[in-house]
Amino acid sequence: MKSGLSNIVVLTGAGISAESGIDTFRAADGLWEQHRIEDVATPEGFARDPDLVLRFYDMRRAALAHAEPNPAHHALARLDQEFSGELLIVTQNVDDLHERAGANRMLHMHGELKSALCLSCEMRSPWDAPMLDRPPCPVCAAPSLRPDIVWFGEMPYQMERIYAALREADLFVSIGTSGAVYPAAGFVREARDLRAQTLELNLERSEGSHWFDESRLGRAGDLVPQWVEAVLGG
């Protein structure tokens, strides 16, 4: 390992999937796919209008079929295969592009479009179909499925595992995120307080750029393969 690195944590956000044609959250008009976030990505919004929310996630789940992993996803999958140290890819994204590129050492802290959570039995099931027509839960058959997505005000998944990885990291890399949403936006401070080097790869300066030792501006499809090549001592 030429880079002398033994433990890397990578955080990815919507920007890494932008070149795959998946919209990021921070559209200019502040709307997200023509919706207010509080109407489609909160438990309150789901309680107020479940059909609106189910349609919103059905549309995004279906759109995955037309998206392909881009060079940034493939570069992180190469890092996963070839880096002999510890690696954890923490994605805020709910798409499956990291997996489809071949990444394994990863987790979805905000859930996944291709997973269903049953409000009756609380079991999760792999899911790739619409939910608007209230299909039966694969486990208990109740018509009580919701998107297995962490909405605003809900606790992100696997936080203990993430903080344990940050405590051990000697490098924390943030890719394609605006640093606007917590707790993910605070990971850079956790990492740097615990001795890790910190690197940001992003199209523009983020809300957290000043916390990073280094911030490289550009498209993930260009910056991530270059960075992985350097880490692997190519």
18 binds ligand BV8 (CB under 6 A): yes
Segment contacting ligand BV8 (CB under 6 A): 81-89, 96-104, 170-178, 187-195?
170-178
The answer to whether 110 is a known catalytic residue is yes
For tokens 């916390």, name the residue.
211
Q: How far from each other are the two terminal CA atoms of the chain, in whole angstroms?
A: 10
- Which of 24, 36, 11 is closest to 60 using CA atoms? 24
> Which residue in 7, 115, 178, 198 binds ligand BV8 (CB under 6 A)?
178
Segment contacting ligand BV8 (CB under 6 A): 79-87, 116-124, 136-144, 200-208?
200-208
174 binds ligand BV8 (CB under 6 A): no
Provide the pairing of β-strand 197-202 with 171-175: parallel
Segment contacting ligand BV8 (CB under 6 A): 82-90, 162-170, 176-184, 226-234?
176-184
* Cα torsion 46, 112, 61, 217: sign: positive
- The closest residue (CB) to ligand BV8 is 15
Q: How far is it, in rounded angstroms, from Cα 38 to Cα 50? A: 13
Site for ligand BV8 in 73-92 (CB under 6 A): 92
65 binds ligand BV8 (CB under 6 A): no
Question: Do residues 114 and 120 make contact, with C-beta atoms less than 8 angstroms apart?
Answer: no
Q: How far is the CB of 205 from ligand BV8 (least distance, A)?
A: 8
Question: Do residues 39 and 49 make contact, with C-beta atoms less than 8 angstroms apart?
Answer: yes
Crossing angle (nearest 10°) for helices 220-231 and 71-82: 20
Active-site amino acid positions:
110
Q: Which residues bind ligand BV8 (CB under 6 A)?
A: 13-15, 18-19, 24-26, 41, 92, 94, 110, 149-156, 176-178, 180-182, 184, 202-204, 206, 219-220
